Amino acid sequence: MKFFKVLLFTLIVCQFTESQNENKYVGFIKLKDTLLIKYRLEFSESNGEISGYSLTDFGGEHETKSKISGIYDQTNHRISFKEVELIYTKSPVSLDDFDFCNIHLESAKFKLGANEFNGNFKGKFSDGTQCINGELAMSSVEKVANRVAKFSKKVQKSKRIEDSIKDKMKNLKILDSLNLNVLKKNEVTSVFTKSKVMKFFIYDGGKIDKDVVTILSEGKIVLLNYEISENKKVIEIPIKTKKTTITIISNSVGTIGTNTTVLEIVDDVNKIKTLTSLNKDEKTYIDIFQK
């Protein structure tokens, strides 16, 4: 039983690891000594300035992606950053107020390329009001990937594990969760923008299997019964009100599993890569909020 618990945990971690990068970290936010929330960072450093992204509760009901900005002191090996801009969230959003609690990491001991990233943070709203405090505990994606690789080798050599599980470990498709947002049935993903026009690039990111989608903007058809291919279909949707609701409908799941249409949502600043996971006639929603 213990072995299979470890296997399950490893499979979950695998889904959120990709290429080795010294500035990618995955782990948890620790609140009130007991509550753990998945957290991931991807950032770059230039002349002491930190910029990048955070992803909270990735794969969960409250998945949220934010921009981060901070400072790295190379002499004393210390880092600090704060979440400065909300890019998207799956948490409920009020039209009148979408102020969220943002992480402000206090100055922490850290060296670029280190395997571990730990520190204390304060949660603050945009006006500086404190909301909640906690700790960050993360490991580099490279370190996690190495652990997964070692575990996978043990699985392949074991005579106690079924071939189906071995094949799953061998053929795992590793996703970069900072760049891929899975759109599920009846789920609402809220995207925030200052742009007046949003571009949607629509295509099949895997094997072409005749997935078909319809896209609506505020209930009006933008794309009808479109069969996905490897070629990117581009549509532009004007954002004229404070909130614009985009509906994606799965008209067909094709010949392989569920409808897995890739939609890249692009404005003047950000690009969000999403992937549908829908059965026939299921819907998912994207609310575009203009800042």
Residues 157-184: tens digit of each pLDDT: 777 777 766 565 554 444 444 457 899 9
Q: How confident is the model at residue 20 (pLDDT cuts 50, 70, 90)?
A: very low
Backbone angles phi and psi of 184, in degrees to 5? -110, 170
| Mean pLDDT for the stretch of residues 15-23 | 48
Ranges assigned E (strand) in 128-281 = 130-140, 181-183, 188-193, 197-203, 212-217, 220-227, 233-238, 243-252, 262-266, 271-276
More confident: 172 or 291? 291
Domain boundaries in the chain?
Answer: 2-141, 181-290
What spatial distance separates the first Cα and last Cα of the chain, rounded to whole Å? Answer: 50
Q: Which of 115, 108, 112, 167 is nearest to 135 (CA)?
A: 108
pLDDT of residue 179: 58
d(CA 7, CA 244): 42
Q: How confident is the model at residue 207 (pLDDT cuts 50, 70, 90)?
A: confident
pLDDT of residue 32: 75
Q: What is the pLDDT of residues 96-151, one digit of tens each?
A: 666 788 999 989 999 998 999 999 999 998 888 988 899 999 998 777 666 666 66
- Beta-ladder partners of 30: 36, 135
Q: How confident is the model at residue 10 (pLDDT cuts 50, 70, 90)?
A: very low
Q: Quick check: 224 pLDDT over 60?
A: yes
Token pair for 193: 């923008």
Q: How confident is the model at residue 9 (pLDDT cuts 50, 70, 90)?
A: very low
From the centroid of its chain, how far is CA 3? 28
Q: Cβ(58)–Cβ(155) under 8 Å?
A: no
Percentage above 90 pLDDT, the chain: 63
Q: What is the pLDDT of residues 41-95, one digit of tens each?
A: 999 999 999 999 999 998 889 999 999 999 999 999 999 999 999 999 999 887 6
pLDDT of residue 141: 78
pLDDT of residue 147: 64
> Residues near 215 by Cβ (< 8 Å), separated by ≥ 6?
200, 202, 221, 222, 223, 226, 235, 246, 247, 248, 249
Pick the CATH number of 2-141 from 2.40.128, 3.40.1360, 2.60.120, 1.20.58: 2.40.128
Token pair for 56: 């909270």
pLDDT of residue 148: 63
Residue 25 Cα distances to 16, 86, 144, 233, 257, angstroms? 10, 19, 9, 33, 31
pLDDT of residue 166: 59
d(CA 132, CA 125): 10
Residue 239 Cα distances to 86, 125, 236, 249, angstroms? 18, 26, 10, 20
Mean pLDDT of the chain: 84
d(CA 136, CA 141): 15
Q: What angle do CA 98, 104, 105 make, to 5 degrees?
A: 150
